Structure 1
Amino acid sequence: MSFMFKPLAYDDLTAINRPKLSSYVKNAIIVGNQDVAKTIIGSVKPSAKSVILVDGYVGSSFENFVNELQRQIIGQNSKLFDMKDVYLSEKEINELTKSNLPLNYEDDPVLLFGKLFDGKIDNLIDDKKLNDSIKEIQSFKGICIVYGHGATVQPLLNIADKVVYIDISPKSAAIRAREGKFMNIGDKKPRPFNALMRRNYFVDFEVVVHQRKRLVNAGTIDFYVDGNNDDEYMMLPFEALKDMLSTLVQYPFRCKPVYLEGIWGGEYIRKVRNLPMDIAKNIAWIFEFIPMEVSIVVDVNSYNFELPFATFMSYASKKIIGEKADKKFEGYFPVRFNYDDTYHSNGNMSIQVHPRGSFSRENYREKGSQDEAYYVIATGHNAKTYVGFKNNADVKEFIDLTEKSQQDGTEVDYKKYINAEDSIPGKQVMLPGGTIHASGQNQLILELGSLTIGSYTYKIYDYNRKDKDGNTRPIHLNNAKKVLEYDRNADWVKKNIAIEPILLKESDDFKEFIVGDTDLMYYQIRRVELNTNGSYEASKNDQFTVITLVDGEEIEVYSKSNPDFKFCQKYLEIVVIPASITDYVIVNKGYQPAVIHKTYLRPNFENYIL
C-alpha cells in the first residue's frame, strides 16, 4: 500500500496463532537483551578470531543491539564495523536511484509514485571500501561485529562465523520512520517522512527484502531476532524458527492487523473491536491481511513472537499458496485484504481509478494490474457504492469538470455521471484496473486487491477536501486519463463485475454462491451462508483459500485430515487456509447463522496476463 499511510501505534493482541509447537522450539526461545547477547557471544569460540554479522530489516536498531553484544564480550578484544562506512556516497546512491524516484510533479503532484529498484543491496556498496574493511577485519585479533543493511553480502559471508538477522514488522518500521529513528541507506541525515518512505518503498525495502529472502532460502542465518521491542529482544536459533514455521504452515492462520487514520474514516471497526478512542479520530483503513504490510504473531512458550508475514512467505511460500501460484507470483502472496470504513463518517472515498498491468509494468516495474474488489459488509442510511459511468453519461464533460475543479475549486455533480449501486450487505463488486469507482459514505467494505507492492490510486475527484494538515488532497488526472476505461457503464457493470449471486450448492447446513467472477481478474469469490450449528466441507488441490467471517459470531476451521490443525475465527477476522491443507471443515460455533466470504484463485489462473 501507499507509503503515505501512517499506521497507528496500536497493537491488536487478539491476532495470536497458537499452534502446538515442539518442546525444542518452546525451550529454544531466548528473551531479554542481555540473554540474547550472551547466547550469541557464547556461540563463538573463546580466545579466537571471530566474525559476527548482524543484518536486518529497515528500521532495525542496529546500534542498540550491537552495543549490547559488545558489552557481553569479556576478556577479548572486540571491534564494531558499521556498513554505513562502505556504502556508495549519498550522491552516488541518489544518482543510481534517480530513475526510481522521478520528480514528475505534473502527473504526481506530491510525489507518491516511483519505480521499483531493479537491483540488490550489493549495488549500494562501494567494492573498494568493502574490500578494505574485510582486510582490516581479517587482521584484527578478537571478535569483529559487522552490522547494518548488507552485512551479509557474499564477501562478508565468506569470512563469517555467525550470522544474526534482526527482523521487525513493516508497521514498526513505518512508526520508527515517522519518529525519525533511521535514515535511508547511504544518507547522512533523515529525509522528511514522505520522502524517506518513498525511497523506502521503491528502493530500500526492495533490496532488504530480497536479501532477507536469499538468507532464509539459503539457511545462512544462525540466530533470528524479533526486534520489534528494543527493550526486550526475543530470539530463536534459525533451526528452531524453521521448526516453528513448518508447524504453523499446517494450520489455518491469521495475521496481525494494522490500523490507519484517514479523512473519511468511520466508526464500525472501532466499535466492533473496542479500540481505544484515543488512538485516532477517524479509522479509515484496516490492513487486515495486506501481505507486505502485516506481521504474524506466534505464541512460543507464552511469549508473542512476531515476524513479518513476508518472512514466513520466504520460508514456506509453496506450502502457503501452492506450487503453481508460487511459480506464477514469484513467491508473493497474490491477494491482499483490507477494510475501508466510512461508517458514520463525513464523506465518500475519492472517485478513483487504478492502472492495468501494462501501465504498471512500464511505469512502476510492478508485476501486474492493480485490480480490486469491494464486498459490502455493513451499511448505514443511504449507503452507495460508485462503480462505472452512468449509461449515456458524457464522460468527457465529467473529466473537463474535474479538471476545472482542480484549478478553481468548483464543485462537480459527480452523481450525474457516476453509476451508483445500492449497497446492501453481501453485495460483491469486482474492480479490474481501469474501472472508475469509490466506496460511498456510511458503510464497511472488505476490499481485495491484486499483487502490487505499492499503491497506485489515481484520484479523479475528491470533493475539494483538505487533509488534516489543511492541504488540498492530490488529484492525478493525467495518469487517470491514460488508464481510465471510458466505456465501462452501468450496463457493463451489471453484466460483468456486479453479477447476481449464482447458487452452486445447497444442503441442510449451508448454501454456497459465486458472488464475484470476471475473466479480467485472476481470483474468484464465493459466499457461504452457514446455518446455526451447520458445517461446510471443501477440498482443494495445490490451492490456498482465504476466508472472512462477514456475519455471525464465531466459526471453527480445521483440516479434515488432521483435525488438530484448527483456528477459532471471530467476526471480521481473516484467516488463510494454506495449500498444505487439502481438505477443510468450517463449523458454526455461534448461536446464529454465519456468512463466510471465500477467496481463491480461478481455474487456470496461471494463464492470466498480470
Structure 2
Amino acid sequence: MNWRKTTQPLMPATTAEKQPPAAGTYDMYPFARLGAGKVHNGYASLAKWMTGRNVILIDGYIGNDWEYIAGSLQRELEAAGVAVTVVCTSTLMKPAGDIEALVAPFLGEKGTVWGRKASITLADLFDTEKLRNIQPAAEGITLVIGVGAALTGLDAPVVYIDLPKNELQYRMRARTANNLGKQAWDDNQETYKRFYFVDWVLLNAHKQQILSRIDVIADGQWKDQLAWATHAAISEGLQYLSQNAFRVRPWFEAGAWGGDWMKEKIPGLNKEEVNYAWSFEMIVPENGLVFESDGHLLEIAFDWLMMKHAKDVLGQDEQRFGIDFPIRFDFLDTFDGGNLSIQCHPRVQYIREQFGETITQDETYYMLDCKPGAKVYLGFQENIDPAAFRQALEDSVATNTAIDIEQYVRVFNAHKHDFFLIPNGTVHSSGKDNLVLEISATPYIFTFKMYDWVRLDLNGKPRPINIDHAFNNLDFSRKGAKVEEELISKQQVIDKGEGWQLVHAPTHAEHFYDVHRMEFAKNITVDTNGKCHVLMLVEGESVVVETANGFRQRYSYAETFAVPAAAGSYKIINEGGGTAKVVKAFVK
C-alpha cells in the first residue's frame, strides 16, 4: 500500500541526497546547522538512548505510523536483550462515537469548508481511568506510544515525534492518516477541516503544555528511519535562529487555476505535476524548520520557535500576537494557467464570531512577475447594483453558465512590482499570467468564492461557491474611483543614500502590516526597531544577510526569509550585478 499520495518527493534525509544550490537558485530544502553530533539517525540509535530506563512516553503529532514506530523500536530493543511492553494510546481514548459527538460542534455543516476553532483539550478525547491505570511492566522497558502519551500520570522521559503538515496531508490522501480517534474514513475536505479546526488546535496546545517535559524531539516523515535530537540541542538551534534569521521549508500544491512559473523556475519540483497553484513560502501553521548535523536533516514544526522565543521573534508585537506569527508570504501562480475565483475574505468581527479566529485574512498582491496583458480584478464598478450582482452569481451557479464579470468588477493591468491592496470585504481575483507574491495576515483558508469561471477542479468537480458568506462581508463602497485611491498602493521613495533607496509601498488603513522595498547596488543596513521583518528578494540573483551576531546566510531570488526583532540590525549584501530589490513586511 502506498503510504503517501503526492507527486512531490520526500525531503532528503541527508545532505548527501541534496545538491547545494548555486547562487541565484531557489532552494526547496533550506536548513540551519546545529553543529556536529546533534542529529542522530535510525531506530537503533534511539533504542540505545532508551536502554536502562523503565518507562518511555513516546508522544507526538497526528499522522505518525505509531504501530510501525513501536515495532521498529521493539525489534531494536529486543535485539539488545531488553524486554519490551508496548501500550498504544489509541487504546486509551474514548469510543469513536463519543469523540465524534465532542468534536461535532466545531465542524460546521458537512460539505462546507469551514468549522470553528475547538475549545476542548486533547485530554477530553481520552478515558481518564485508562490513562491513570497504566501499570509499567516489572522488567524491561514499557513504551507508552502515540498521540497523548504524556497525558498519562507516569513520571518518565518524553520523546516527541513531530510530522510536517504537508506529509500529514499526503498521508491523509493515501488514507494512512486519519483524524484523532476516528475509525471511519471521510472525504479529504472533511478530514482536513477537522485537522485545521480541531486536531491541530488540540495538539498544538498539548505540545505547549508538555514542552518542558520533552527530552527528545524526532522527525517522523521518513517511513524507514527516524531522525532525532535532544531537546537541548534543538533548543540551542532555535535560540540562535531567534536572534539572527530563518527560512522555513516551503511546499507546493497544484490547483484548478495553477500555472507553470514555479515549475520552470524552481529546481527540484516535479515537472510532471499538472501545474503549481500555490507555494507555502511562509504560511507558518503549515511550515517547518529544518536543522542539520553531520549531514543528517531533521524537521520540526515552526511553532516550536514561537513557543520558546515569541518575544525574541516578534519583539514589541509579542504582546499583541502571543505565539501566533502574524504575517504570511505565499505564491499564486497563474502563468499559462487560469484566473483565480472572484472572491472576498471575512471582516474581523465575522471571522471571530463564525470561525474563532482572532485576526482576519487581510491580503495584498505584490506582482513578482507578469506576462504582457496580465490583469488583476479589484473592487466594484461605480454603478454596481448588489442585488443584480447577486442574482447574476446565483443564476450562474444554477445554470452553470458564464457571466461577464467585468460588468460588476473592475479590472486593472498588472506589471512587475505593482502592489494591490485587498483589505477584508474587498472583491478581487488574480487573472492568468501572474506570479503573485501574496503578502497577508496569517489566516489562509477563509476565501469566499462567488464566481469560479464555470470550471471544474482537478478532480473533475465544481469548487464550492460561497455567495451567502461573501454577501455577509462584501464592502460595496469600494467601487469606481475609490479603488484607485485606496486599493492600489502609491509607492514612493522615503529615504535614500549613495547606491540605495527605500521605497514605501503603503498598505490600506485596515492592514496591520506595512511594506517597504529596499533597492541597492551593493549593500544596505537595516534596523529591526523591535519588529520582525519578513523579506523576499524580488529582483536580483542573490543576497547575503549578515547580523551583528556573526550570522551570515545567502538567500536567492524569490526565497522568503525572516529576521527576528531580537537581531537588532542586519546588513543585506547584493551578490549579483545591477540593483537588488528586497521586499520587507512588518507589523505597523
Tell whether the structures are fold-level matches, with TM greater than 0.5: yes
Which residue identity does 1:129 align to in structure 2? K
Q: What number of residue pairs does the alignment pair up?
A: 568
**Structure 1 residue 76: deviation in Å?**
4.8
Secondary structure of the 1:568 match is strand
- 1:274-302: CA deviation from partner (whole Å, max 9, x where unpaired): 34554411111011111011112222222
Matching residue of 1:61: 65
Contact 1:53 1:162 in 2 (8 A): yes
Please give the alpha-carbon distance, in whole angstroms, between the structure 2 residues aligned to 1:223 and 1:339: 34
Contact 1:7 1:259 in 2 (8 A): no
1:197 aligns with 2:198: no
Please give the alpha-carbon distance, in whole angstroms, between the structure 1 residues aligned to 2:60 and 2:272: 29
Secondary structure of the 2:284 match is coil
Matching residue of 2:44: 34
Q: Label 1:476 to 1:20 Cα distance change in 2 as closer, same or farther (>3 A).
A: closer
Matching residue of 2:334: 342
Matching residue of 1:164: 159
1:270 aligns with 2:263: yes
Secondary structure of the 1:266 match is coil
1:378 maps to which of 369, 376, 396: 369
**Structure 1 residue 77: deviation in Å?**
3.9
Which residue identity does 1:174 align to in structure 2? Q
Matching residue of 1:511: 501
Contact 2:247 2:561 in 1 (8 A): yes
Matching residue of 1:230: 223
Which residue identity does 1:549 align to in structure 2? L
Please give the alpha-carbon distance, in whole angstroms, between the structure 2 residues aligned to 1:226 and 1:509: 45
Contact 2:34 2:291 in 1 (8 A): no
Secondary structure of the 1:97 match is helix
Matching residue of 2:433: 442
Secondary structure of the 1:288 match is strand
- 1:580-608: CA deviation from partner (whole Å, max 9, x where unpaired): 21111111110122211110110xxxxxx
Contact 1:344 1:380 in 2 (8 A): no
Please give the alpha-carbon distance, in whole angstroms, between the structure 2 residues aligned to 1:191 and 1:351: 29
Please give the alpha-carbon distance, in whole angstroms, between the structure 2 residues aligned to 1:64 and 1:20: 29
Contact 2:32 2:290 in 1 (8 A): no
Secondary structure of the 1:149 match is coil
**Structure 1 residue 11: deviation in Å?**
5.1
1:9 aligns with 2:16: no
Please give the alpha-carbon distance, in whole angstroms, between the structure 2 residues aligned to 1:253 and 1:263: 32
For 1:435-514, list aligned pairs within 5 A.
435-452=426-443, 455-514=445-504
Matching residue of 1:207: 202
Contact 1:16 1:298 in 2 (8 A): no
2:149 maps to which of 133, 148, 151: 151
Secondary structure of the 1:144 match is strand
- 1:300-344: CA deviation from partner (whole Å, max 9, x where unpaired): 22222211112222222221222x322211201101110000012
Matching residue of 1:605: none
Secondary structure of the 2:257 match is strand
Identity of aligned residues (%): 27
Contact 2:8 2:270 in 1 (8 A): no
1:565 aligns with 2:555: no
Please give the alpha-carbon distance, in whole angstroms, between the structure 1 residues aligned to 2:231 and 2:184: 34
Contact 2:47 2:73 in 1 (8 A): yes
- 1:187-230: CA deviation from partner (whole Å, max 9, x where unpaired): 224333222222111111111111112222xx211111121112
After superposing on structure 2, the runs of 4+ consecutive aligned residues of structure 1 that deviate more than 6 Å are: none
Contact 1:398 1:414 in 2 (8 A): no
Greater CA drift, 502-511 or 68-77: 68-77
Q: Label 1:403 to 1:544 Cα distance change in 2 as closer, same or farther (>3 A).
A: same
Matching residue of 2:234: 241
Secondary structure of the 2:256 match is strand
Secondary structure of the 1:514 match is strand
1:188 aligns with 2:178: no
Which residue identity does 2:126 align to in structure 1? I
**Structure 1 residue 350: deviation in Å?**
0.4
For 1:81-160, list aligned pairs within 5 A.
81-103=87-109, 110-132=111-133, 134=134, 137-138=135-136, 140-153=138-151, 156=152, 158-160=153-155
Q: Label 1:164 to 1:43 Cα distance change in 2 as closer, same or farther (>3 A).
A: farther
For 1:360-371, list aligned pairs within 5 A.
360-371=351-362
Please give the alpha-carbon distance, in whole angstroms, between the structure 2 residues aligned to 1:259 and 1:279: 13
Matching residue of 2:419: 428
Please give the alpha-carbon distance, in whole angstroms, between the structure 1 residues aligned to 2:31 and 2:270: 29
Which residue identity does 2:284 align to in structure 1? P
2:252 maps to which of 254, 259, 266: 259
Secondary structure of the 1:524 match is strand
The unaligned stretches of length 5 or more in structure 1 are 1-5, 45-49, 105-109, 603-610
Please give the alpha-carbon distance, in whole angstroms, between the structure 2 residues aligned to 1:177 and 1:312: 26
Q: Label 1:252 to 1:70 Cα distance change in 2 as closer, same or farther (>3 A).
A: same
**Structure 1 residue 422: deviation in Å?**
1.5
Secondary structure of the 1:152 match is helix
Which residue identity does 2:321 align to in structure 1? F
Please give the alpha-carbon distance, in whole angstroms, between the structure 2 residues aligned to 1:10 and 1:277: 8
Matching residue of 2:575: 589
Matching residue of 1:607: none
2:300 maps to which of 301, 307, 318: 307
Contact 1:8 1:261 in 2 (8 A): no
Secondary structure of the 1:362 match is helix
Please give the alpha-carbon distance, in whole angstroms, between the structure 2 residues aligned to 1:221 and 1:231: 23
Which residue identity does 2:160 align to in structure 1? Y
1:328 maps to which of 320, 330, 335: 320
Secondary structure of the 1:70 match is helix
Q: Label 1:8 to 1:505 Cα distance change in 2 as closer, same or farther (>3 A).
A: farther
Matching residue of 2:310: 317
Q: CA RMSD in A?
A: 1.9
**Structure 1 residue 251: deviation in Å?**
2.6
Q: Label 1:239 to 1:275 Cα distance change in 2 as closer, same or farther (>3 A).
A: closer
Q: TM-score, normalised by structure 2?
A: 0.93
Please give the alpha-carbon distance, in whole angstroms, between the structure 2 residues aligned to 1:565 and 1:63: 41
